[in-house]
Structure 1
Amino acid sequence: MQAFSHLLDRLSYEPGRLAKEALLTDYLRKTPDPDRGYALAALTGELSFRHAKPALLRELISTRTDAVLFGLSYDFVGDLSETIALMWPASERGKGENAGLSLADVVEALNTAKKAEIPALLAGWLDLLDETGRWALLKLLTGGLRVGVSARLAKTAVARLGTITPDDVEEIWHGLKQPYLELFAWVEGRSGRPETLDPVPFRPVMLAHPLEEDADPANVPADALFVEWKWDGIRIQAAAARDAAGHQAARLYSRTGEDISGAFPDLVALMSFEAVIDGELLIRREGAVQPFSDLQKRLNRKTAGPKLQRDYPAAIRAYDLLMLEGEDLRPLPFMERRRRLESFLSDLNLPQIDLSPEVAAGSWAAIAAARQTPESLLPGPDANAVEGVMLKRRDAPYLPGRPKGQWFKWKRDPYLVDAVLMYAQRGHGKRSSFYSDYTFGVWWGAEGQEVLVPVGKAYSGFTDEELVQIDRFVRNNTVNRFGPVREVLHSKDAGLVLEVAFEGINRSTRHKSGLAMRFPRIARLRWDKPPAEADKIEALETLLTG
């Protein structure tokens, strides 16, 4: 546990990607099994504990310190794990004995302990560990490490232990189990490549780079690219095949490999083929693509009943074909895979699984026009569901990760609205000392009787310098507090106007304004604009009607 806590501590202060990779590789090389495997699971988000939740941690700290003092401290620090780690009373046991507690001890005890046994276990460990160790333990429990390490970076560090590539690790990752003993044995050359018996494993997806408008068009001929729409759903992989016994197996995976089949049994029931499709998950009603908010009603559910399936019928818009009847098509050029996909879907003949159409754009000017005005080429509902265009080299193989120069995404210009800052909350990790999460609103009501109503939240888009400016404004203009949330002065005469960029807007019953923004972020601070001149709700309503 000591080595793991020191790793997290160093990672949290190291800004460079290569330096983080070196720290991880060094830790994995020096740490024995199974500790390093559990550390890898934690860093890739694969580790969770059913009974150890934040509410339990709050109850534990309430037995060791004053509840009001804890609330004030948590409000100031902004991070639950860090607050508890600092406030937990020091113990003589934490001055040297913690070296004997391994990460495997913690993980295996939490996985086997009964719910009633968890509080005593945690209290004993917190007494045993020093401040850094307590912080690492609590981060492990809550699952929010926030040390700047992506799952891809962790897998890259594993690959550096041997001569394999990160893509090799990605290819077998979803068939592995913690603590990954077979993976480390293979990487270090002590055994062969791990084999999976899963007939429908997840295949690592290929991702696109944002188009660099000032460079890429000059370097990439338009006729070398296949152009298709970027749909506003979620990227999925539909995998179906027969197992060794001849039984049909089918799964829907998210882009990150999460099995979401349970939420979409209507689609899974149709997957009687032997293929792997890369596509976009959408809600389609009477042939028209519905808003993303309709899809959200089915996401993050373990099951979906008949009414939900009927009211929000799911569909797949296919982009690519990765496997077909046991043949791996990924090494083939994109246009050959596309030809095979068209033939496959034609034979399949399912309206719920259709082909993403090619955009007829043979020049960069035509591509730019299609990207900004999809309504000129698509019917209204479908045009509203387009985020932009995808540009794929016609000769590109299907490569895992984000290979440079193969696929590009070119999103539509975002919508902009001037909104008034209403509430602020502290951020997490490096931003825990700043008020960096903002709720903003626009004017609503009859002339002379307008009130501000919240329309969105954002925690990105601003620079570090702008963050300091907003944080200072929040602290100097707080008019009320609700737990960790501060209400900021906002009226016609006083307040801070934010220019907010967002990708789209939908109806919402969960928001007082009746609207929900897609991917809002702060575009700039409008110190020059009085709150009375911020936008009204009508400016957003017009986006719904086109």
Structure 2
Amino acid sequence: MNRFAELLDRLIFTPSRNGKIRLLTEYFREVPDPERGWAVAAITRDLEIRSVKMAAIRGVIASRVDEVLFDLSRDYVGDTAEAAALIWPAEHGANRQPSLSEVIETLNSASRTEAPAIVEQWFDALDASGRWALIKLISGGLRIGVASRLVKLALAEFGGKEPQELEELWHGLKPPYTELFAWLEGGAEKPVNAMKAPFRPVMLSHPVEEADKPKIDLDRMAAEWKWDGIRVQLVREGGEARLYSRTGDDISDAFPDVIEGFPANAALDGELLVFDPDTTDHFAVRPFNDLQQRLNRKKVSAKMLKTHPAFVRAYDILWEEGEDLRTLTLEERRRRLEAVIGEGLPRVDLSKRIEAADWDELARLRAEPPIDAIEGVMLKSRDAPYVPGRPKGPWWKWKKEPFLIDAVLMYAQRGHGKRSSFYSDYTFGCWRGDELVPVGKAYHGYTDQELKKIDKFVRDNTVERFGPVRSVKASRDHGLVFEVAFEGLNRSPRHKSGVAMRFPRINRLRWDKPAAEADELSTLEAMLPRQ
């Protein structure tokens, strides 16, 4: 268990992508089965421990630690697992540290009444780092800056395979992945993917920069709108249908209406959107905020299915009736896609092409799209095959310029991992008369040096404390102004301001700007999508 804890600790404090991949491949090389396979399952969040939950862990902690003292410690540290791992008063006696495999296999065979006592024994045997890793493993809260795709890239590098091979196999594999590791080490044949309707790795685009424009021949490009939804892959094969996110997560259960409305034996690439059921317009797209209400749900209610119906706006086809179409050109795939969609499917339609003679006309279309659910334009080479990954040249995205406002820092919260010592999560507000109302929250967009300066400002200007959160002095005469960039805005009755930002980030710090000159809430309200 401590070897796994060491891996997590090193991953948290390794900022570079290649550095994280190197750490993972070293771990796969040094740690035997099934330990390394269980580590993969834990990091990719393909692991669930049912016998013990965080409520039980808190009960174990309360049996040894004064609850008031623990609450104060947790508020100061800002993380339950870290506070518990550090404050735990271990009793002598238990000196055999459990392995990761033992922890998972024991807890998965234990009852809910047995599990807390087992965890208590392990807390005594492990050091603080091991206890932290154990709590994170149980809670599923492994926020260590490693996405599922990065683990697959590390596995591919470890075995000398192409990443897309692993991605196409992934959903047919089960932890602890002994067959996978046997293949990667050359000791067995490639596992057979018995799963129907598998995920196929997606092709990604590059943002258009000014320096790129002379290299892009618009005459050879097909242009279409870039829709403000989420990228998905809709697949039906042999009577089974699935909906995947762009990273290969199966989100089928949250969108049964889309699955049922797709009868074709094919794999489509497109954008998941929500439409207005009360309009005669075919698939009139609603704002992203409406789609967001359906994301990350294990089940969706009948009411939500009726009020927030979803569909896929398809722009590519990868497979049809047993034939892999990815080697065909875009134009050939487009003809196959048009034939599959035909006169229209219940929950799928075709992404329409747009015409622009030159960059000036394309810029006008980008700046003034017909509806607010469009966030830019896409450019795709007509003769390019579908290549997984992000090859530079075939596909380009040219998004609208982000919205910018000046807002005043109101609250700051401690971060996680290597930022746990800093106030790095910021809530900011705009003026409504003489009152500041919160309009958003951001935790990136600044350098490490800027973080230290903001952290000092927070500590020097704290007026109230709420556990790990500090309220910062903010008035017309005093305050720190952020220039905030964001991709979109929606009405939100859940927020005091009545608005909710999409993808806010700190664009720059305005140490030079008086708080009184930050934007009014009315400035934000004027940016709301046209209804």
Contact 1:53–1:141 (Cα < 8 Å) also in 2: yes
Q: Does structure 2 retain, via aligned residues, the 8 Å contact 1:419–1:499?
A: yes
Alignment of 1:24-423 (within 5 A): 24-93=24-93, 97-98=96-97, 101-211=98-208, 213-242=209-238, 248-285=239-276, 286=279, 287=281, 288-347=284-343, 349-350=344-345, 352-374=347-369, 378=370, 383-423=371-411
Distance 1:37 1:391, change over 3 A: same
Question: Residue 256 of structure 1: CA displacement?
Answer: 2.4
Kept after mapping to 1: 8 A contact 2:264/2:340:
no
> Once the two structures are superposed, what CA deviation does each residue of 1:491-538 show, in whole Å capped at 9, x if it has no partner?
222222211111111111211111111111111122222222221121
1:506 aligns with 2:490: yes
Out of 453, 460, 463, the residue aligned to residue 444 of structure 2 is 460
Within 1, Cα distance between the matches of 2:14 and 2:441?
29
The answer to whether the 8 Å contact 1:238/1:251 transfers is yes
| Pairs aligned (count) | 525
TM-score, normalised to structure 1, is 0.91
Paired AA for residue 509 in structure 1: P
2:394 counterpart letter in structure 1: Q
Give 1:143 deviation, angstroms: 2.6
- What amino acid is aligned across from residue 352 of structure 1 in structure 2? R
The share of aligned pairs that are identical, in percent, is 58
How far the C-alpha of 1:125 sits from its partner, in A, is: 1.0
Per-residue CA distance 1:8-58 (angstroms, 9 max, x = gap): 233233333333322221211222111111111122222232354334333
Structure 2, unaligned runs of 5 or more: none
Cα distance in structure 2, aligned partners of 1:473 and 1:10: 30
Unaligned runs of 5+ in 1: 243-247
Per-residue CA distance 1:205-258 (angstroms, 9 max, x = gap): 2222333x143223332233222211111111111122xxxxx22122222223
Contact 1:262 1:303 in 2 (8 A): yes
Residues 5 and 44 of structure 1, relative CA distance in 2, 3 Å threshold: same
Is the 8 Å Cα contact of residues 25 and 157 (structure 2) preserved in structure 1? yes
Distance in 1, matches of 2:317 and 2:229, equals 18
SS at match of 1:544: coil
* 1:93–1:129 contact (8 Å) kept in structure 2: no
User: Could you tell me whether the CA contact under 8 Å between 1:361 and 1:367 is conserved in 2?
Assistant: yes
Q: Closer, same or farther in 2 for the Cα pair 1:118/1:336, shift >3 Å?
A: same
Instruction: Name the SS of the counterpart of 2:300 in structure 1.
Output: coil
Letter in 2 for 1:97: R
> Which stretch of the first structure deviates more once superposed, 411-420 or 401-410?
401-410
Contact 1:76 / 1:433 at 8 angstroms: preserved in 2?
Answer: no
Q: Secondary structure at the match of 2:114?
A: helix
Task: Tell me how far 1:362 sits from its aligned partner.
Answer: 4.1
Q: What code does the residue aligned with 1:302 have?
A: K
State the match for 1:245 in structure 2: none
Decide whether the 8 Å contact of 2:262 with 2:346 is kept in 1: no
CA distance in 1, matches of 2:228, 2:289: 10
Alpha-carbon distance in structure 1 between the residues aligned to 2:250 and 2:350:
23
Shift of the alpha carbon at 1:60? 2.6
Using structure 2 for the length normalisation, give the TM-score: 0.94
Structure 1 residues 290 and 55: alpha-carbon distance in aligned structure 2, compared to 1, 3 A threshold: same
